[in-house]
Amino acid sequence: MRSAIKIHDAVMRRTLRSIGGYEVKTEGDAFMVCFQDTVAALLWCFTVQLQLLEADWPAGILETEEGREIQKENKIIYRGLSVRMGIHLGTPVYERNPITKRMDYFGPVVNKASRICNAADGGQICVSSDVIAALREMPGVLGEDKMRPGSNMLGVKSHSLNRDIQQLKRLGFHIVELGEHRLKGLETPEMLSLVFPKQLAGRMELEKNEASPIIASSTVTSQTNVTETSFRRASSTTTPFTRPINRKIDASLVASLSSITARLECLTTGHLANSSRATALFQYSQALHKRIEEAASDEEMIVLIENFVARIEVFNNNAVSSLYLKKVGRFANVLEKLGEAIDLDPSHILRALQIYSEVEGLEEKPNGLL
């Protein structure tokens, strides 16, 4: 994993130097980066997403469920580590770090960018409503070539900005509104949207059929644009265009253990006498078997095995207790007297157990009796 993180960091920094931006800081696998305008931030996110697909990932990453290659219509849409990204627009609080001597950004704008990033899944770029509004005000970005009233003429005439706009138009992108979401630590809901480069539009359709993906992280921030990006590996479920799952644990054995667990549960809880409960439990078990055999990863099956073993241990203890109570039920009075006599003379306990053994016709005496 360490080599994969190094590859990720190299892609991030190489693209940042190419497009132009400021690396504020890193925290683990997360980057916080800032840009002078929204277009540059968006172009950086798109370029990173595309270059990560072409990176020379270690075989250990590509062989995992989370890092495997996924194609749609003969186009690679997932490969290796996936990155989740969040972009917000605003002016953060800033000051020079006394130790590193570098400019550091913090405050509400940075916090909001972080929350927006956390709302994304692996391979997604989540943006705030302020970012969408800024893009709409930027002539030519959303297909509107005419200047709107109030637009910044000087900014549009900037050579670097015009260059970034042209590159963004060549890539092409789609915007998908997610609606209002409540973000952690913020009182008012935020209107969020997802943006995808045209080449990765297949991710939108894939994620409609997926369970929740998995993430790692990188962050981007700017004096006017705060962009957060964060890794997230897409642990997708089965889809028509994904390759077979590469796993080492035999799924059929895990399914058999699940069946044994369900049968023990019926025996110890008395569900066999209740046909409706038993039928419902059987249907649930069958659905779980299908999920295990078709889509469960090694990590998921390990968690299931631990759960099944713990449940079997509980059922075993419950079954022993139930059988014991059935055996000694007729001698409740004897045991009650035994409990009262414990503080008087321990020999009474041995005598009571001997009487119990003789009545039941046991061939072996209880442990401890001579």
Answer with the residue of higher pLDDT: 209 or 117. Answer: 117
Residue labelled with tokens 């039941």: 360
Q: Give the residues across from 215 on adjacent strands.
A: 232
Q: Give the residues across from 86 on adjacent strands.
A: 126, 228
The predicted pLDDT at position 251 comes to 78
Chain-centre distance of CA 194, in angstroms?
Answer: 18
**What is the b/e burial string over 254-291, where b = at least 16 CB atoms within 10 angstroms of the residue's CB?**
bbebbbebbbbbbebeebeeeeeebeebeeebeebbeb
User: What mean pLDDT comes out for the span 175-180?
Assistant: 90
- pLDDT, tens only, 308-317: 888 787 766 6
Cα radius of gyration (the chain) = 31
- pLDDT, tens only, 43-69: 999 999 999 999 999 998 898 888 899
| Per-residue pLDDT at 74 exceeds 80 | yes
Share of the chain above pLDDT 70, in %: 66
The counts of H helices and E strands in the chain are 13, 12
The predicted pLDDT at position 193 comes to 93
How many angstroms separate the first and last alpha carbons of the chain? Answer: 62
Cα separation, 28 vs 132, in Å, equals 29
pTM exceeding the 0.75 threshold for the entire prediction = no
- pLDDT, tens only, 289-299: 777 777 777 77
Of 152-156, 251-255, 285-289, the one with minimum mean pLDDT is 152-156
Cα separation, 102 vs 98, in Å, equals 8
| Per-residue pLDDT at 13 exceeds 60 | yes
| CATH class (in words) of the domain with range 2-232 | alpha beta
Cα separation, 324 vs 134, in Å, equals 74
| Per-residue pLDDT at 160 exceeds 70 | yes
Contact 369, 363 (CB under 8 A): no
Share of the chain above pLDDT 90, in %: 24
Cα separation, 171 vs 199, in Å, equals 8
Local confidence band at 16 (pLDDT 50, 70, 90 cut-offs): very high
Burial (Cβ within 10 Å: 0-12, 13-18, ≥19) of residue 237: middle
For 7, the token pair is 């590859």
Cα separation, 316 vs 265, in Å, equals 10
User: What mean pLDDT comes out for the span 189-197?
Assistant: 92
| Per-residue pLDDT at 344 exceeds 60 | no
The DSSP code for 63 is T
User: What mean pLDDT comes out for the span 157-185?
Assistant: 85
Local confidence band at 237 (pLDDT 50, 70, 90 cut-offs): very low
Instruction: Spell out the domain ranges in the chain.
Output: 2-232, 251-360
Local confidence band at 122 (pLDDT 50, 70, 90 cut-offs): confident
The predicted pLDDT at position 350 comes to 61
Local confidence band at 150 (pLDDT 50, 70, 90 cut-offs): very low
Between helix 251-269 and helix 275-294 the angle, nearest 10°, is 170
Q: What is the 3-state secondary structure (H, E, C) of 218-247?
A: EECCCCCEEEEEEEECCCCCCCCCECCCCC
The predicted pLDDT at position 89 comes to 93
